[in-house]
Structure 1
Amino acid sequence: MARTTPLDPPLDSPPDDDRPLYGRIAALLLDELRDGTVPPGERLPGERHLAAHFGVSRETVRQALEVLRRGGLVATDRRGSHATLPGRPVEAPESLTFPVGARSADPCAVDRSTVTWEPPPPEHAQALGLAPHRPTLVHHYLSATPDGRSLRTALTSFSPVALAEVAELARYRGRADGATPAQLRRAYDWMRKAGLALHHRDAITQVGDASSVRVTRRVHDQYARPLEITDLVVDAERDTLVYEFTLPAAG
């Protein structure tokens, strides 16, 4: 049986806490997962980092992670461990919220976001270099205000490159049933963390009688490989399409 290295209890533990050290570390790590320190779907820091963070041995961290795995709160694959708690991911202030421009400025607007594993529209397949009828991860988004005055829909297809390079996106394949809510707000952050430089190109056209506009967004990386294509349709009769970009200062 694995043996926990005896160390002083973490500072956050009460003196009468009689749980084993790895149990207390599991509880502290769970608190950080719940408060969004590690957002849902994100990879956890490595064992060495966690050991230094909590002031314990790597063996103790390993045992704590096993406790969380048995509880279904953490999953581990060849890329490392990641949080599986439900919830809304935490956004960095400088991040671009995916899909860009899809959310109404009305604070009462309600959005719905799901993913499917299906063949994308033919124009998407062509843009992503997919063979006809080959399935991929497709994101469906709808935002509407209670009075119906603002409606936005977005359909995004991800490329095989994006799914191969970005572990957080690839994990959604197992949840791509078209019914389970799927918040991909931090998709662009995940891509950047995977080492991909993102180039966005938006084309805006009128739809029908010009009461709506369509934004077709194509995103590729520094090697000109397609990552995703999005079709965003906005009811422009009473709504305003606003893009807001924040770029961090150099250095």
Structure 2
Amino acid sequence: MARTTPHDRPLTEAQPLYWRIATELLGELRDGTIPPGERLPGERHLAEHFGVSRETVRQSLEVLRRSGLVATDRRGSHATLPGLPVETPASLTFPVGARTTGPGAVDHATVTWETPSPEHAEALGLAPHRETLVHRYESTGADGRGQRTAVTSFSAVALAEVAELARYRDRTEASGSAQLRLAYDWMRRAGLSLHHRDAITRLPGASTVRVTRCVHDQYARPLEITDLVVDAQQDALVYEFTLPAAG
């Protein structure tokens, strides 16, 4: 007997809910929301995304597994649709504006557990006066020019999903040195696709610009926000891009 799959049958109200969710998930796999070979979000996240129970998600994944469209191993479920493999993107350094320290240059970073600025708290969806992980970065060239300062606040989602960040909660000190240059790689390995929106604006009456980076995951949940001030001569610019989660 021929085996039917979600792409063989049109979506109808008479179909079981799990079949309808399998069809919707397949659509997201095909349109590149989850690229071939990438790890799928966990059952809890998929259940929240589609507004169904985790049991319904399990049944939907089983439909796709039987059809050979999803494979599951000890790392989780992965899309197996035909397509070009996802290349490892160029290293994305955290925080925005961080650079390799040259001879004689000063590069310093710290992490603290504190209440972020009201602007950061609002962007991250944090309740007023709620503490979170805050990262500060300073860099000055060997000639004393080209100063860069960045302040990053992480959301509750980032701390809950990314184990490497969560570990800092009990290790932060006011003067604690920390380099989180792999923060974006940690997020990707946790199964988060990163959507960045960077707004670059020249500060009035100054030779510096402010860069405000907001990072969300594939469910539009805020992960972090960074404010960078750097010496530069540049007009306002806004650009967006997405960095897929690691497979």
| TM tier, smaller | 0.5 to 0.7
Which residue identity lines up with residue 121 of structure 1 in the other structure? S
**1:212 touches 1:235 (CA, 8 Å); kept in 2?**
yes
The equivalent of 1:183 in structure 2 is 179
Q: CA RMSD in A?
A: 2.8
The equivalent of 1:77 in structure 2 is none
The equivalent of 1:169 in structure 2 is 165
Written as runs of structure 1 = structure 2, the 5 A alignment for 1:49-60 is none
User: Which of 91, 114, 125 is equivalent to 1:118?
Assistant: 114
User: Which of 212, 215, 221 is equivalent to 1:216?
Assistant: 212
TM-score, normalization: structure 1?
0.56
Q: In 1, Cα distance between the equivalents of 2:169 and 2:183?
A: 14
Q: In 1, Cα distance between the equivalents of 2:135 and 2:185?
A: 17
Written as runs of structure 1 = structure 2, the 5 A alignment for 1:85-164 is 94-103=90-99, 108-164=104-160
Q: In 1, Cα distance between the equivalents of 2:168 and 2:135?
A: 10
The equivalent of 2:73 in structure 1 is none
Q: What secondary structure, in the 3-state scheme, does the structure 2 residue paired with 1:173 have?
A: helix
Q: What secondary structure, in the 3-state scheme, does the structure 2 residue paired with 1:183 have?
A: coil
Q: What is the total number of aligned residue pairs between the two structures?
A: 153
**1:104 touches 1:150 (CA, 8 Å); kept in 2?**
no
Percent identical among aligned pairs is: 74
Q: In 2, Cα distance between the equivalents of 1:149 and 1:211?
A: 12
Structure 1 residue 106: deviation in Å? 5.2
**1:110 touches 1:145 (CA, 8 Å); kept in 2?**
yes
Structure 1 residue 176: deviation in Å? 1.5
The equivalent of 2:40 in structure 1 is none
Structure 1 residue 120: deviation in Å? 0.4
**1:99 touches 1:185 (CA, 8 Å); kept in 2?**
yes
Q: In 2, Cα distance between the equivalents of 1:232 and 1:213?
A: 8
Gap runs ≥5 in structure 1: 1-91
**1:104 touches 1:144 (CA, 8 Å); kept in 2?**
no
Which residue identity lines up with residue 173 of structure 1 in the other structure? R
Q: What secondary structure, in the 3-state scheme, does the structure 1 residue paired with 2:218 have?
A: coil
**1:200 touches 1:217 (CA, 8 Å); kept in 2?**
yes
The equivalent of 1:52 in structure 2 is none
Which residue identity lines up with residue 158 of structure 1 in the other structure? F
Written as runs of structure 1 = structure 2, the 5 A alignment for 1:37-48 is none
Gap runs ≥5 in structure 2: 1-87
Q: In 2, Cα distance between the equivalents of 1:147 and 1:237?
A: 18
Change (3 A) 1:201 1:151: same
Q: In 2, Cα distance between the equivalents of 1:205 and 1:139?
A: 22
Q: In 2, Cα distance between the equivalents of 1:107 and 1:201?
A: 32
Q: What secondary structure, in the 3-state scheme, does the structure 2 residue paired with 1:180 have?
A: coil
Structure 1 residue 136: deviation in Å? 0.2
Q: Deviations 1:152-196 (Å, cap 9, x if unpaired)?
A: 000000000000000000011122112121010000000000000
Q: In 2, Cα distance between the equivalents of 1:103 and 1:144?
A: 10
